[in-house]
Chains A and B, each alone.
Chain A
Amino acid sequence: MTEAIEVVVNGEPRAVRAGGGGGATLLALLRELDLDPRTVVVEHNRRIVRRPALGEVTIAAGDAIELVHFVGGG
């Protein structure tokens, strides 16, 4: 049985697959969302998570995650 964790991603509630035993990591979340970790910056509960650490930080229920990138602007 695959458990789901309820988190808030970019302001929207979202159920994330918990993964095998140890909970889902931020890197797994990016993969699930089909996002390239090289072009996305991740903020986890208001803390920026550097790219090398994305695979080590696990997600817990209720976490607030922001996924941002560069868009056109002045």
Chain B
Amino acid sequence: MTTAIETMRDTPLTIGGRSFHSRLMVGTGKYPDSDTMLRAIETSGAEVVTVAVRRVNLDRSKETSILHVLDPKRFFLLANTAGCYTAADAIRYARLAREAGFNEFVKLEVIGDEETLMPDVQGLLEAAKVLVAEGFQVLAYTNEDLVTALRLEDAGCAAVMPLASPIGSGLGLLNPLSVRTIKRRLRVPVIVDAGVGTASDACLTMEQGVDGILMNTAIAAAQDPVAMAQAMRLATIAGRAAFLAGRMPRREVAMPSSPTKGMLD
């Protein structure tokens, strides 16, 4: 499926020397089954898909590796360090992920709180510095704090990924001003990661001018994940197009759209 809007002139999204045409990135967790996951990802148009690193289940009755569903030649696999609560753990997971042999990219998460899954920004910075020094392209999942984002950029991160709202919450973009400020101040790409719930959230997020958006639960946990993947694809494109178009100024009084002259006596 193509839409006319995609022929609009837009630069590709370049992160760590790799260029992507889709500004929507998707996760691969929590799908009801792998067939639905694959169809949803295909429908989303995403090129970058995130994966997690976990122990092989040795008592498996079936193969659990995501590589049996996702062709790494078709999709750019972005490994995460989800579930890591210390810099040391995140570094360990990142190294394991790189050894899988697909790329040097890692979506770095260092979580600081179990209830909110808010990032531990101190651990995040520490891990980012180590991984950047080891040649990783680090995409750092962080909160919507400008100073942390600036420090992550200074640390050499390839992209900074502020959250829209807590992981898996579906609350949407809670702090558009902070996300806009981060985008305005950083040179590296800003990808909003986590928290969107539905298409309007994705659209509003892209309207802030950020470079991309990453989501998982909003698609995977929808009643119809494939249909939601399509909605998210269109919303991401629409939000980007609206940002590029430049919205009209807001004003707090009405202004008629039709001529005020030429009215009948």
**Interfacial residues, chain A to chain B (CB-CB below 8 A):** 9-12, 33, 35, 39-41, 43, 48, 50-51, 66-74
Contact = CB atoms under 8 A, between A and B. Distances in A.
B58 interface: yes
Chain A interface helix/strand/loop/mixed = strand
A74 B56 CA distance: 18
A33 B214 CA distance: 36
B13 interface: no
Given A41-B100, A48-B95, A69 B167 contact: no
B99 A70 contact: no
Interface stretch (B45-53, B144-152, B247-255): B45-53
A35 B31 contact: no
Interface string B109-128: 00000000000000000000
Chain B interface helix/strand/loop/mixed = mixed
Contacts of A66: 55, 96
B170 interface: no
Contacts of B55: 10-11, 66-68
Contact of A12 (B27, B58, B66, B67): B58
Contact of A73 (B52, B56, B67, B100): B52
B29 A67 contact: no
A70 B53 contact: yes
Interface in B141-174: 167-168
Nearest to B57: A10
Interface residues of B, number: 36
Interface of B: 27-31, 37, 50-56, 58, 64-68, 77, 79-80, 82, 95-97, 99-101, 167-168, 194, 214-217
Given A10-B56, A33-B58, A68-B55, A73 B82 contact: yes
B28 A73 contact: yes
Contacts of A68: 53-56, 96
Given A71-B66, A74-B29, 13 more contacts: A11-B55, A33-B56, A33-B58, A48-B95, A68-B55, A69-B54, A69-B66, A69-B67, A70-B52, A70-B66, A74-B50, A74-B194, A74-B216
Given A66-B55, A68-B55, A73 B50 contact: yes
Given A69-B67, A70-B51, A74-B50, A35 B56 contact: yes
